[in-house]
């Protein structure tokens, strides 16, 4: 292993920490060697398990990335992005916000990161923290606890005890389902955290996409009237819609983003 070769390997890995994919052709130009050499370099790094080979280039090994989301939850990505974007607009400057663990709330954090506000976030989800961590105007406090790799969050007695010591202006929680009886959840451990958040925040908004309407799960997190409002993508009908109106909840419907069509185009 010569110095030059080693330096190239380092450079390739460095590129991959910046971008998730690199192309052999661009690396060849950039490193001043032939594409064939780069190809051999990547093959070697692949054997060492440091990068992943792709057609035309290499990709970074996303070790603990997001095998998270359960299969059932995978299908509402676009709706959830809309909901998250809308919810992010409800946060004001200087707010202290609690954010629950969940796929919608992770999206919320990403949307929040783009807003030009100063605020403080308390969360038990590492992706929420990671998304907001680079915003210098935002203070992120992560709760302790037992780490769950599927939910990518922290749960247990340590978590609730920690949250108990704080107070928030606004909180966002997710749920597995919502019925006229209230928000329902599959994960028992997550329920305790959600209840603690409800307890510690002046106002709590539930983030659910319409696929969760009338979906009843193991445990009821709280009755509808305990919530401050619901952010979703469609007006719920039937018994659920009635119950929501009766409970006097603030119902926020995330609008379809029309100007999505001419947003910046990124080419590789």
Partner DNA sequence: CCCATTTTGTGGTAGTTCCGGCATTTTTAT
Partner DNA sequence: ATAAAAATGCCGGAACTACCACAAAATGGG
Residues of the shown chain interacting with DNA in the complex, contacts defined by CB under 7 A: 1-5, 8, 23-25, 32-37, 39-41, 55-57, 267
Between the alpha carbon of residue 55 and those of residues 21, 63, 193, 227, the distances in Å are: 11, 20, 44, 49
Binding of a copy of itself at residue 60 (CB under 8 A)?
A: yes
Here's the x/- map for a copy of itself, 71-90, by CB under 8 A: it reads as: ---xxxxx--x---------
**Residue 40 interacts with, from DNA, a copy of itself, none (CB under 5-8 Å by kind):** DNA
Measured from the CB of residue 249, what is the shortest distance to a copy of itself in angstroms? 28
Q: Any residues with CB less than 8 A from the CB of 155 and at least 6 apart, and which?
A: 101, 124, 145, 146, 148, 189, 190, 192, 193
> Of 74, 83, 70, whose CA–CA distance to 210 is shortest?
83
**Residue 65 interacts with, from DNA, a copy of itself, none (CB under 5-8 Å by kind):** a copy of itself
Beta bridge partners of 231: 207, 252
8 A C-beta contact, residue 87 and residue 205: yes
Alpha carbon distance 231, 125 (integer Å) = 20
Measured from the CB of residue 35, what is the shortest distance to a copy of itself in angstroms? 13
End-to-end CA distance of the chain: 31
Q: Which positions from 13 through 32 interact with a copy of itself, judged by CB under 8 A?
A: 13-14, 17-18, 20-21, 23
C-beta closer to DNA: residue 1 or 63: 1
Q: Which positions from 201 through 240 interact with a copy of itself, judged by CB under 8 A?
A: none
Measured from the CB of residue 76, what is the shortest distance to a copy of itself in angstroms? 8
C-beta closer to DNA: residue 58 or 101: 58
Alpha carbon distance 111, 105 (integer Å) = 10
C-beta closer to DNA: residue 42 or 143: 42
For 110, half-sphere exposure in the C-beta direction (CA atoms, 13 angstrom radius) is: 13
Here's the x/- map for a copy of itself, 85-124, by CB under 8 A: it reads as: -------------------------x--x-----------
Helix (H) or strand (E) holding 239: helix 238-246
Alpha carbon distance 154, 152 (integer Å) = 7
Q: Please give the size of the binding site for a copy of itself, defined by CB under 8 A.
A: 74
**Residue 81 interacts with, from DNA, a copy of itself, none (CB under 5-8 Å by kind):** a copy of itself
Q: Any residues with CB less than 8 A from the CB of 55 and at least 6 apart, and which?
A: none
**Residue 140 interacts with, from a copy of itself, DNA, none (CB under 5-8 Å by kind):** a copy of itself
**Residue 126 interacts with, from DNA, a copy of itself, none (CB under 5-8 Å by kind):** a copy of itself
């Amino acid at each position: 292993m010569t110095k030059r070769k080693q330096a190239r390997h380092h450079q390739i890995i460095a590129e991959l920490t910046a971008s998730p994919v690199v192309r052999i052709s661009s690396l060849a130009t950039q490193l001043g060697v032939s594409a064939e050499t780069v190809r051999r370099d990547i093959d070697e790094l692949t054997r060492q398990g440091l990068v992943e080979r792709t057609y035309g280039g290499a990709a970074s090994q996303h070790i603990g990335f997001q095998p998270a989301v359960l299969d059932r939850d995978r299908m509402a990505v676009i709706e959830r992005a809309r909901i998250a974007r809308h919810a992010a607009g409800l946060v004001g400057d200087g707010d202290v916000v609690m954010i629950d663990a969940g796929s919608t709330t992770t999206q919320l954090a990403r949307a929040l990161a783009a807003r030009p506000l100063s605020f403080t976030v308390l969360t038990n989800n590492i992706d929420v923290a990671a998304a907001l961590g680079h915003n210098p105007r935002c203070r992120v406090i992560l709760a302790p606890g037992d780490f769950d790799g599927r939910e990518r969050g922290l749960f247990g007695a340590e978590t609730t005890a920690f949250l108990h010591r704080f107070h928030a202006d606004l909180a966002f929680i997710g749920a597995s389902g919502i019925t006229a009886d209230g928000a329902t959840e599959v994960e028992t451990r997550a329920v305790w955290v959600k209840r603690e958040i409800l307890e510690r925040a002046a106002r709590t908004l539930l983030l659910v996409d319409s696929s969760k309407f009338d979906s009843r799960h193991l445990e009821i997190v709280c009755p509808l009237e305990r919530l401050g409002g619901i952010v979703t993508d469609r007006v719920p009908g039937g018994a659920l819609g009635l119950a929501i109106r009766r409970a006097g909840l603030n119902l926020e419907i995330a609008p379809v983003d029309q100007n999505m069509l001419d947003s910046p185009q990124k080419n590789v």
